[in-house]
Amino acid sequence: MLEPWRTGKVIRIEDATDSTRRFWIEIPELASFDFKPGQFVTLDLPIHEKKNKRWRSYSIASAPDGTNIIELVIVLLEDGAGTNYLFKEVQVGTELTLRGPQGVFTLPEIIEKDLFLICTGTGIAPFRSMAHYIHQHKIPHQEIHIIFGCRKHGDCLYGPELKQLEKDMPGFYYHPVFSREDAVPEGAYTGYVHGVYEELLRIHKKPVHFFLCGWKNMIDEAKQRIIAMGYEKKDIHLELYG
């Protein structure tokens, strides 16, 4: 059943990187906005007469916490009508029409296999939600690996927070990968995400749930490589951006 459209109010905005912003949205008519980590909301933005050209969907970056506030992390697309509106017109206090939660890009009921959460850019959003949720609720799990690809150090969303989570949460590993940096700190990689999960699993191939989130070309390549490593299509879950 589809959730009704509701009014959300922007209560806080922060720049995350040069081209990425964090938006906190409160849904006043609900005491608690309940969702599963990995789900998304759809915004109906006043950018076109036709409904389907106004709708933009974004994964929820915060973990469910019993409140009516969610966080979205959004990258500005040069020619994107939706993101240009969000970056140029929306301020604290702006009301937005939204619907959700939606989507089935969610954790298994019981986490019996390792989780490899592979993403680029704002594709980190659903995985940040999942990681904090597992930690806060002490959900039994195997190893969890977030493999997060971006271009430069300054593009790395939630970096310090995920490094801290790695210290606080046994079995959780954070692997940032930079495609446009020559030197990286310990625990980080240069290049692309594919080399990292291949290396981790070459040493010790075991049962894995792969979750992929980001741009289509990254996801297409990851699917091919994961299947080439001997995994099956049913081991791969994906959420496509753009």
Asked if 20 contacts 74 with a C-beta cutoff of 8 angstroms, the reply is yes
For residue 46, the model assigns a pLDDT of 96
For residue 175, the model assigns a pLDDT of 96
Amino acid letter, residue 33: F
| Widest pairwise Cα distance in the chain | 54
Residues of each domain in the chain carrying CATH 3.40.50.80: 114-241
- CA distance linking residue 78 with residue 158, whole number of Å: 23
For residue 241, the model assigns a pLDDT of 76
For residue 52, the model assigns a pLDDT of 87
| Cα-based angle 144, 150, 155 (whole degrees, multiple of 5) | 110
Q: Which two tokens stand for residue 110?
A: 């019981």
pLDDT confidence band for 204 (50 / 70 / 90): confident
- Token pair 């999942």 is found at 130
Through-space distance between the first and last CA atoms of the chain, rounded to whole angstroms: 25
Domain 114-241 -> CATH class: alpha beta
pLDDT confidence band for 242 (50 / 70 / 90): low
Q: Is the pLDDT of residue 22 over 90?
A: yes
Give me the chain's average pLDDT, please: 95
Q: How far is CA 47 from CA 7, 52, 81, 111, in A?
A: 17, 11, 7, 41
Residues of each domain in the chain carrying CATH 2.40.30.10: 5-102
Beta-carbon contacts of 36 under 8 Å, excluding residues fewer than 6 positions away, are 64, 101, 106, 107
CATH classification of 5-102, choosing from 2.60.120.560, 4.10.1240.10, 3.40.50.1980, 2.40.30.10? 2.40.30.10
Beta-carbon contacts of 234 under 8 Å, excluding residues fewer than 6 positions away, are none
For residue 186, the model assigns a pLDDT of 85
Alpha helix (H) residue ranges in 72-150? 81-88, 125-136
Q: How far is CA 113 from CA 63, 154, 171, 208, 221, in A?
A: 21, 33, 12, 5, 22
Helices (H) and strands (E) in the chain, counts: 5, 12
* pLDDT tens per residue, range 88-131: 999 999 999 999 999 999 999 999 999 999 999 999 999 999 99
For residue 26, the model assigns a pLDDT of 98
- Token pair 């190893």 is found at 143
- CA distance linking residue 13 with residue 172, whole number of Å: 29
